[in-house]
Amino acid sequence: MIPKYENKNKEIAVDWKKSVHVPPHLHDSMEIVYVTSGTLEMGVGQELYHMEKGDFAIIFPNVIHHYQVFGEKENRAIYVFVNPVAFPVYMNELQRYSPAHPIIAKKSLHSDVVNSMKVLAEMKNYNEMLVRAYVQMILAHVFSEMKMVEKSSIGGDDIVYNAVEYVARNFREEISLDKMATDLGVGKYVLSRIFAKTFHCNFNKYVNGVRLNYATSILENTKESITNLCLECGFESQRTFNRVFKEQYKMTPREYRNRMSQYIRTEAYE
Protein backbone atom coordinates (compact mmCIF):
# COMPACT_ATOMS: atom_id res chain seq x y z
CA MET A 1 0.00 0.00 0.00
CA ILE A 2 1.25 3.48 -0.85
CA PRO A 3 1.14 6.38 1.65
CA LYS A 4 -1.52 8.92 0.92
CA TYR A 5 -0.86 12.21 -0.77
CA GLU A 6 -2.98 15.23 0.04
CA ASN A 7 -2.45 18.89 -0.64
CA LYS A 8 -5.22 21.37 0.04
CA ASN A 9 -3.69 23.66 -2.61
CA LYS A 10 -4.43 21.09 -5.30
CA GLU A 11 -7.83 20.96 -7.01
CA ILE A 12 -7.93 17.17 -6.53
CA ALA A 13 -6.78 15.42 -3.33
CA VAL A 14 -6.64 11.68 -2.66
CA ASP A 15 -6.67 9.96 0.72
CA TRP A 16 -6.52 6.18 1.32
CA LYS A 17 -7.18 5.74 5.01
CA LYS A 18 -9.04 4.08 7.85
CA SER A 19 -12.68 5.11 7.93
CA VAL A 20 -13.85 6.90 11.08
CA HIS A 21 -16.92 8.67 12.40
CA VAL A 22 -17.30 12.08 10.73
CA PRO A 23 -20.15 14.39 11.88
CA PRO A 24 -22.61 15.93 9.40
CA HIS A 25 -20.86 18.56 7.32
CA LEU A 26 -20.70 20.10 3.87
CA HIS A 27 -18.03 21.68 1.70
CA ASP A 28 -17.47 23.09 -1.77
CA SER A 29 -15.70 19.98 -3.08
CA MET A 30 -17.16 16.85 -4.59
CA GLU A 31 -16.33 13.77 -2.49
CA ILE A 32 -15.83 10.30 -4.01
CA VAL A 33 -15.58 7.19 -1.83
CA TYR A 34 -14.55 3.61 -2.64
CA VAL A 35 -14.58 1.07 0.22
CA THR A 36 -11.50 -1.19 0.10
CA SER A 37 -12.08 -3.16 3.31
CA GLY A 38 -14.75 -3.52 5.98
CA THR A 39 -17.94 -1.48 5.88
CA LEU A 40 -19.04 2.15 6.07
CA GLU A 41 -22.32 3.88 6.87
CA MET A 42 -22.73 7.05 4.82
CA GLY A 43 -25.44 9.60 5.53
CA VAL A 44 -26.48 11.97 2.74
CA GLY A 45 -29.16 14.51 3.52
CA GLN A 46 -31.58 12.63 5.75
CA GLU A 47 -30.82 9.16 4.35
CA LEU A 48 -28.32 6.60 5.67
CA TYR A 49 -26.66 4.15 3.26
CA HIS A 50 -24.73 0.97 4.08
CA MET A 51 -21.55 0.35 2.08
CA GLU A 52 -19.63 -2.91 1.75
CA LYS A 53 -16.18 -3.63 0.33
CA GLY A 54 -16.13 -2.70 -3.35
CA ASP A 55 -19.03 -0.24 -3.15
CA PHE A 56 -18.67 3.26 -4.60
CA ALA A 57 -20.30 6.55 -3.60
CA ILE A 58 -20.21 10.17 -4.69
CA ILE A 59 -21.37 13.30 -2.86
CA PHE A 60 -21.79 16.49 -4.85
CA PRO A 61 -20.67 19.90 -3.49
CA ASN A 62 -22.66 21.53 -0.68
CA VAL A 63 -24.69 18.43 0.19
CA ILE A 64 -24.84 17.54 3.89
CA HIS A 65 -23.19 14.18 4.58
CA HIS A 66 -21.59 12.20 7.38
CA TYR A 67 -19.93 8.84 8.09
CA GLN A 68 -20.33 6.21 10.78
CA VAL A 69 -18.29 3.06 11.34
CA PHE A 70 -19.63 0.10 13.29
CA GLY A 71 -17.78 -2.92 11.89
CA GLU A 72 -15.13 -4.55 14.08
CA LYS A 73 -12.91 -5.41 11.10
CA GLU A 74 -10.45 -2.96 9.54
CA ASN A 75 -12.54 -0.37 7.73
CA ARG A 76 -10.68 1.50 4.99
CA ALA A 77 -11.68 3.51 1.95
CA ILE A 78 -10.23 5.66 -0.80
CA TYR A 79 -11.49 9.26 -0.58
CA VAL A 80 -11.11 11.64 -3.52
CA PHE A 81 -11.91 15.34 -3.06
CA VAL A 82 -12.50 17.30 -6.26
CA ASN A 83 -12.86 21.07 -6.52
CA PRO A 84 -15.53 21.70 -9.21
CA VAL A 85 -13.32 24.31 -10.88
CA ALA A 86 -11.13 21.43 -12.05
CA PHE A 87 -13.93 20.36 -14.42
CA PRO A 88 -15.78 23.46 -15.67
CA VAL A 89 -17.74 21.37 -18.18
CA TYR A 90 -19.58 19.79 -15.22
CA MET A 91 -19.85 22.96 -13.13
CA ASN A 92 -23.57 23.59 -13.70
CA GLU A 93 -24.55 19.97 -13.01
CA LEU A 94 -22.42 19.76 -9.87
CA GLN A 95 -23.93 22.92 -8.44
CA ARG A 96 -27.57 22.22 -9.35
CA TYR A 97 -27.99 18.45 -9.18
CA SER A 98 -27.09 15.46 -7.03
CA PRO A 99 -27.44 11.68 -7.52
CA ALA A 100 -30.87 10.40 -6.48
CA HIS A 101 -29.06 7.37 -5.02
CA PRO A 102 -25.37 8.16 -4.32
CA ILE A 103 -24.21 4.51 -4.10
CA ILE A 104 -23.17 2.11 -6.86
CA ALA A 105 -22.87 -1.43 -5.50
CA LYS A 106 -19.81 -3.51 -6.32
CA LYS A 107 -21.73 -5.81 -8.67
CA SER A 108 -22.88 -2.86 -10.78
CA LEU A 109 -19.68 -0.79 -10.69
CA HIS A 110 -17.83 -0.49 -13.98
CA SER A 111 -14.26 -1.81 -13.97
CA ASP A 112 -13.04 1.57 -15.32
CA VAL A 113 -14.19 3.24 -12.08
CA VAL A 114 -12.56 0.58 -9.90
CA ASN A 115 -9.27 0.78 -11.77
CA SER A 116 -9.30 4.59 -11.71
CA MET A 117 -9.83 4.72 -7.94
CA LYS A 118 -7.02 2.23 -7.31
CA VAL A 119 -4.58 4.04 -9.59
CA LEU A 120 -5.34 7.35 -7.85
CA ALA A 121 -4.75 5.79 -4.43
CA GLU A 122 -1.49 4.10 -5.43
CA MET A 123 0.04 7.02 -7.34
CA LYS A 124 3.38 7.72 -5.64
CA ASN A 125 3.82 11.22 -7.06
CA TYR A 126 1.07 13.69 -7.86
CA ASN A 127 0.75 13.99 -11.66
CA GLU A 128 -1.95 16.56 -12.38
CA MET A 129 -2.57 15.44 -15.95
CA LEU A 130 -3.04 11.79 -14.99
CA VAL A 131 -5.12 12.59 -11.93
CA ARG A 132 -7.50 14.72 -14.00
CA ALA A 133 -7.76 11.98 -16.63
CA TYR A 134 -8.75 9.29 -14.13
CA VAL A 135 -11.25 11.54 -12.34
CA GLN A 136 -12.71 12.49 -15.73
CA MET A 137 -13.25 8.80 -16.47
CA ILE A 138 -15.02 8.33 -13.12
CA LEU A 139 -17.30 11.32 -13.70
CA ALA A 140 -18.19 10.10 -17.20
CA HIS A 141 -19.59 6.90 -15.68
CA VAL A 142 -21.29 8.78 -12.84
CA PHE A 143 -23.23 11.07 -15.18
CA SER A 144 -24.14 8.27 -17.58
CA GLU A 145 -25.18 5.69 -14.97
CA MET A 146 -26.63 7.66 -12.02
CA LYS A 147 -29.99 9.41 -12.08
CA MET A 148 -29.74 13.08 -11.09
CA VAL A 149 -32.26 15.11 -9.09
CA GLU A 150 -32.41 18.70 -7.85
CA LYS A 151 -30.30 19.20 -4.72
CA SER A 152 -33.26 20.79 -2.96
CA SER A 153 -34.94 17.37 -2.84
CA ILE A 154 -31.98 15.81 -0.97
CA GLY A 155 -30.50 18.22 1.52
CA GLY A 156 -33.41 18.51 3.94
CA ASP A 157 -34.88 21.84 4.98
CA ASP A 158 -33.07 25.16 4.96
CA ILE A 159 -32.70 25.26 8.76
CA VAL A 160 -30.68 22.01 8.76
CA TYR A 161 -28.48 23.29 5.94
CA ASN A 162 -27.98 26.64 7.66
CA ALA A 163 -27.11 24.96 10.96
CA VAL A 164 -24.41 22.80 9.36
CA GLU A 165 -23.05 25.70 7.33
CA TYR A 166 -22.99 27.97 10.40
CA VAL A 167 -20.95 25.51 12.47
CA ALA A 168 -18.58 24.82 9.55
CA ARG A 169 -17.94 28.55 9.25
CA ASN A 170 -17.64 29.33 12.97
CA PHE A 171 -16.32 26.26 14.80
CA ARG A 172 -12.91 27.87 15.28
CA GLU A 173 -14.55 30.59 17.36
CA GLU A 174 -16.42 30.48 20.67
CA ILE A 175 -19.99 29.65 19.65
CA SER A 176 -23.10 28.74 21.61
CA LEU A 177 -26.59 27.51 20.83
CA ASP A 178 -28.01 30.87 21.99
CA LYS A 179 -25.74 32.90 19.70
CA MET A 180 -26.34 30.56 16.78
CA ALA A 181 -30.12 30.84 17.22
CA THR A 182 -29.88 34.63 17.27
CA ASP A 183 -27.61 34.79 14.24
CA LEU A 184 -29.83 32.44 12.23
CA GLY A 185 -33.07 34.03 13.39
CA VAL A 186 -34.61 30.81 14.71
CA GLY A 187 -35.66 29.59 18.14
CA LYS A 188 -33.10 28.02 20.43
CA TYR A 189 -35.29 24.99 21.08
CA VAL A 190 -35.95 24.52 17.36
CA LEU A 191 -32.20 24.24 16.82
CA SER A 192 -31.84 21.93 19.81
CA ARG A 193 -34.43 19.55 18.33
CA ILE A 194 -32.63 19.61 14.97
CA PHE A 195 -29.38 18.44 16.54
CA ALA A 196 -31.20 15.74 18.51
CA LYS A 197 -33.37 14.47 15.64
CA THR A 198 -31.15 14.96 12.59
CA PHE A 199 -27.64 14.61 14.06
CA HIS A 200 -28.53 12.38 17.05
CA CYS A 201 -26.49 14.43 19.51
CA ASN A 202 -26.61 17.71 21.37
CA PHE A 203 -25.15 20.98 20.09
CA ASN A 204 -21.90 20.82 22.07
CA LYS A 205 -21.13 17.26 21.00
CA TYR A 206 -21.77 18.12 17.37
CA VAL A 207 -19.49 21.17 17.46
CA ASN A 208 -16.74 19.21 19.20
CA GLY A 209 -17.08 16.50 16.56
CA VAL A 210 -16.48 19.04 13.80
CA ARG A 211 -13.50 20.44 15.70
CA LEU A 212 -12.00 16.98 16.25
CA ASN A 213 -12.45 16.05 12.60
CA TYR A 214 -10.51 19.17 11.65
CA ALA A 215 -7.89 18.46 14.31
CA THR A 216 -7.16 14.92 13.08
CA SER A 217 -6.62 16.23 9.56
CA ILE A 218 -4.07 18.74 10.85
CA LEU A 219 -2.37 16.12 13.04
CA GLU A 220 -2.05 13.75 10.10
CA ASN A 221 -0.84 16.24 7.50
CA THR A 222 1.19 18.93 9.32
CA LYS A 223 3.66 19.44 12.16
CA GLU A 224 1.54 22.17 13.77
CA SER A 225 2.15 22.25 17.53
CA ILE A 226 -0.65 20.78 19.61
CA THR A 227 -0.76 23.93 21.73
CA ASN A 228 -1.51 26.05 18.68
CA LEU A 229 -3.79 23.42 17.17
CA CYS A 230 -6.20 23.27 20.12
CA LEU A 231 -6.81 27.03 19.87
CA GLU A 232 -7.06 26.92 16.07
CA CYS A 233 -9.77 24.27 16.40
CA GLY A 234 -11.81 26.44 18.78
CA PHE A 235 -11.13 24.70 22.10
CA GLU A 236 -10.75 27.00 25.10
CA SER A 237 -7.66 25.20 26.42
CA GLN A 238 -5.29 22.35 25.64
CA ARG A 239 -6.64 20.51 28.67
CA THR A 240 -10.17 20.55 27.26
CA PHE A 241 -8.87 19.56 23.83
CA ASN A 242 -6.94 16.59 25.25
CA ARG A 243 -9.93 15.44 27.29
CA VAL A 244 -12.43 15.60 24.42
CA PHE A 245 -9.93 14.06 21.99
CA LYS A 246 -9.19 11.14 24.30
CA GLU A 247 -12.91 10.51 24.90
CA GLN A 248 -13.39 10.17 21.15
CA TYR A 249 -10.21 8.39 20.03
CA LYS A 250 -9.07 6.64 23.25
CA MET A 251 -5.63 8.28 22.98
CA THR A 252 -4.09 11.73 23.29
CA PRO A 253 -3.52 13.98 20.25
CA ARG A 254 0.23 13.37 20.53
CA GLU A 255 -0.27 9.60 20.61
CA TYR A 256 -2.60 9.88 17.61
CA ARG A 257 0.00 11.83 15.58
CA ASN A 258 2.77 9.37 16.48
CA ARG A 259 0.63 6.38 15.62
CA MET A 260 -0.45 7.84 12.27
CA SER A 261 3.13 8.79 11.42
CA GLN A 262 4.33 5.27 12.20
CA TYR A 263 1.40 3.77 10.31
CA ILE A 264 2.11 5.77 7.15
CA ARG A 265 5.83 4.91 7.26
CA THR A 266 4.96 1.22 7.59
CA GLU A 267 2.43 1.36 4.73
CA ALA A 268 5.05 2.87 2.41
CA TYR A 269 7.02 -0.37 2.43
CA GLU A 270 4.15 -2.83 1.91
Predicted local confidence at residue 52, as pLDDT? 96
Are 105 and 29 in a shared domain? Answer: yes
Are 92 and 144 in a shared domain? Answer: yes
Predicted local confidence at residue 8, as pLDDT? 44
SS3 state at 200:
coil
Query: Which positions ≥6 away from 186 have C-beta within 8 Å?
Result: 159
Are 19 and 148 in a shared domain? Answer: yes
Are 108 and 190 in a shared domain? Answer: no
Query: Are 71 and 51 in contact, with CB atoms under 8 Å apart?
Result: no
Note whether residue 1 is domain-resident: no
Count of CB atoms within 10 A of residue 212's CB?
23
Predicted local confidence at residue 1, as pLDDT? 27
pLDDT in tens, the chain (270 residues): 222 333 344 689 898 988 988 888 877 889 999 999 999 999 887 788 999 999 999 999 888 888 989 877 789 999 999 988 888 888 888 888 899 999 999 999 999 999 999 999 998 888 889 999 999 999 999 999 999 998 767 655 578 878 888 888 889 898 999 999 999 999 999 999 988 887 778 999 999 988 998 888 788 777 889 999 999 899 989 999 999 999 988 899 999 888 876 654 444 334
- In eight-state DSSP terms, residue 74 is -
Domain total in the chain = 2
SS3 state at 142:
helix
Predicted local confidence at residue 242, as pLDDT? 94
Spell out a b/e string for 167-189, using b for 16 or more CB atoms within 10 Å of the CB, else e. beebbeeebebeebbeebebeee
Q: How far is Cα 231 from Cα 29, in angstroms, rounded to an integer?
A: 26
Note whether residue 270 is domain-resident: no
Predicted local confidence at residue 262, as pLDDT? 63
H helices of 1-43, in order, are: none
CATH number of the domain where residue 106 is located: 2.60.120.10
Q: How far is Cα 87 from Cα 94, in angstroms, rounded to an integer?
A: 10
CA atoms within 13 A on the CB side of 226: 15
SS3 state at 26:
coil
| Domain carrying residue 33 | 12-153
Predicted TM-score (pTM) of this structure? 0.69
Are 146 and 230 in a shared domain? Answer: no
Are 135 and 188 in a shared domain? Answer: no
- State the Cα angle at 66 between 5 and 186, rounded to 5°: 130
* Residue ending a domain, choose from 122, 153, 184: 153
